[in-house]
Structure 1
Amino acid sequence: MTAFAPEWLELREPADAAARATELLGPLRDHLGDGGELVVRDLGCGTGSLGRWLAARLPGAQRWILHDHDRELLTRAAASLPRTALDGSPVDVVAEPGDVTALRAADLAGTSLVTASALLDLLTGPEVTALAAAITGAGCAALFTLSVTGRVELAPADPLDDDVTAAFNAHQRRLTGGRRLLGPAAVDVTAAAFARLGATVLRAPSAWRLGPDQAALQREWLEGWVGAAVEQRPDLRPAAGGYLRRRLETAAAGELHAVVHHGDLLVLPPSPEAAA
């Protein structure tokens, strides 16, 4: 799994929080009900931004189990989640380092909800299939937020926008360490995997909308976005330098607006009758 710098995760957190699809919270709360303590497993938790966003939006006592391969990030996340739920109930937090792709249904026994943010596009098709089987087999719900969908809108437009976008999307689907990443196909592939298993899948858009008041995030995102595109297509390098310079100048002048499209998924388990 890819490692991310804590500074990058912290910089993007406000944009993530603003983008997540709040319309999925109502159906999620309805499903979870008030049947006692919620056990939530956050996969690839990073610094805990999803937990900080979600724990205080769900009622009832909660036990969050944070999963990540990066122990430094786990320590940060465990220390920073809210300790009270929407209704003032206690929130308990524990950390479990390890490979989230190795989880199976038995590992999720007793779990109410599996969550993840910006994770699905880093997985492979077989890994998503196995994750869907584990979650459905355990009979728990799942909320996946902020998976890239491959669409970016930039204003003002630039002639190189389409080439950079296509190269970045190809980079997201790259073969790395013998794993072919899903990248922009992740939302569709994941939704189909759960639907095949009889789960109910609700989808909602969750775009970043980056304006002049997010100049620091614009800058970091642009450098990473163009850098990945050039890594995928070295032939773009001569033109990409000027492109990045133009984009950074526009951002510094407070004139750049970017919409980076993502998708959220809420998965509700099959009814016992359907599962039978």
Structure 2
Amino acid sequence: MSEVIEVSSDWLALREPEDARARSRDLALEAAALLEPGPIVIHDLGSGTGSMMRWLAPKLPGPQTWVLHDWNATLIARAARAGATDREGRPVAIRTRSGELAHLGSEHLDGAALVTASALLDVLTSREVGAVTDACVAVGRPVLLSLSVTGQVRLDPGDPRDDAFEAAFNAHQRRRAGARRLVGPTGVALARRRFLAAGWKVRTAATPWRLGDHDRPLLDEWFSGWCDAALEEQADLRADGAAYRALRSSQSRRGALSAEVAHADLLAWP
């Protein structure tokens, strides 16, 4: 198996409420309007613990069957146990599949009425983005891809070091992970180009996280990971890294730090 990005279930649980707030409800409702009447099958790629299913299923008619795709069988088993309900409050049926997205083909999206993913595009390679978009185009059903990182971060109060850390983090997002070269913040633009080249319609929406004292555990965990990645990528930031981290930690403890972390949602349909 090629090297993949490890994601902990604790991190997924911590971010789920903010993910739910940030996702585009307008694009979700537009996706719902594109569905044909009757039972629907939704394929969720990189499903993790099922947060996309729990957020989207109540906005869609039923009966619904969700097919959860993830390389991590432990995470998707947890998602299947948690379950979800449709717009009428009925439990959705759940199937699970474990596999790498580089090998995704239209045959793996059997019966799809809708294909979804969340927080996925930025951790794929260009080949994997191509496999996903090609498979979706082949089945000819709407695609809703949410919460892809696009690279921009705004911290308040600002600091002269913010831009250097942002640039280093974004470079880390485009790093080579084993044999895989990640697309990082360019993932949404790459997917958009591929769908448009196939003659599809595409809409995007800005879906930023807005973090502050109301969700300080997520703010602190996000900042720690963001800072760690930047320091790993660019060694010359380390001399001032401890002071920068200490300043931001102090601001957070006093409720004086907020962050806006840019993401985007994408809806594509034939």
Category of TM-score, reference length = shorter chain? over 0.9
CA drift at 1:113 = 1.0
Structure 2 counterpart of 1:13, one-letter code: E
User: Would the aligned equivalents of 1:60 and 1:90 in 2 still touch at CA under 8 Å?
Assistant: no
CA drift at 1:81 = 2.4
User: Would the aligned equivalents of 1:38 and 1:112 in 2 still touch at CA under 8 Å?
Assistant: yes
Distance (whole Å) between structure 2 residues aligned to residue 88 and residue 253 of structure 1: 42
- Matching residue within 20, 35, 53 for 1:17: 20
TM-score by length of 1: 0.94
CA drift at 1:265 = 0.3
CA drift at 1:103 = 1.1
Distance (whole Å) between structure 2 residues aligned to residue 37 and residue 78 of structure 1: 19
CA drift at 1:90 = 4.2
The yes-or-no answer on 1:91 pairing with 2:98 is no
CA drift at 1:45 = 0.8
Distance (whole Å) between structure 1 residues aligned to residue 229 and residue 184 of structure 2: 13
Distance (whole Å) between structure 2 residues aligned to residue 75 and residue 89 of structure 1: 20
TM-score by length of 2: 0.96
Distance (whole Å) between structure 2 residues aligned to residue 218 and residue 107 of structure 1: 37
The yes-or-no answer on 1:109 pairing with 2:102 is no
Gaps of 5+ in 1: 271-276
User: Would the aligned equivalents of 2:192 and 2:202 in 1 still touch at CA under 8 Å?
Assistant: yes
**Match of 2:150?**
149
Classify the secondary structure of the residue corresponding to 1:126. helix
User: Would the aligned equivalents of 1:68 and 1:97 in 2 still touch at CA under 8 Å?
Assistant: yes
Classify the secondary structure of the residue corresponding to 1:87. coil
The yes-or-no answer on 1:47 pairing with 2:17 is no
Query: 1:91-126 deviations in whole A, cap 9, x for unaligned?
Result: 101111111231101221311111111100011112
Distance (whole Å) between structure 2 residues aligned to residue 90 and residue 199 of structure 1: 32
- Count of residues paired in the alignment: 267
User: Would the aligned equivalents of 2:205 and 2:266 in 1 still touch at CA under 8 Å?
Assistant: yes
The yes-or-no answer on 1:6 pairing with 2:12 is no
Classify the secondary structure of the residue corresponding to 2:5. coil
Structure 2 counterpart of 1:127, one-letter code: E
Classify the secondary structure of the residue corresponding to 1:32. coil
**Match of 1:120?**
121
Alignment of 1:222-237 (within 5 A): 222-237=223-238
**Match of 2:178?**
177
Query: 1:220-271 deviations in whole A, cap 9, x for unaligned?
Result: 1111000000110011111111101111110111111100000000111x2x
Classify the secondary structure of the residue corresponding to 1:9. helix
**Match of 1:219?**
220
4+ long deviations beyond 6 Å: none
CA drift at 1:89 = 4.1
Distance (whole Å) between structure 1 residues aligned to residue 64 and residue 226 of structure 2: 37
Alignment of 1:195-214 (within 5 A): 195-214=196-215
Structure 1 counterpart of 2:26, one-letter code: E
Query: 1:128-179 deviations in whole A, cap 9, x for unaligned?
Result: 1221111110112111000001000110011110000000000001112122
Distance (whole Å) between structure 2 residues aligned to residue 150 and residue 88 of structure 1: 37
User: Would the aligned equivalents of 1:59 and 1:89 in 2 still touch at CA under 8 Å?
Assistant: no
**Match of 1:255?**
256
**Match of 2:35?**
32
Structure 2 counterpart of 1:42, one-letter code: D
Distance (whole Å) between structure 2 residues aligned to residue 13 and residue 258 of structure 1: 17
**Match of 1:187?**
188
Distance (whole Å) between structure 2 residues aligned to residue 137 and residue 97 of structure 1: 21
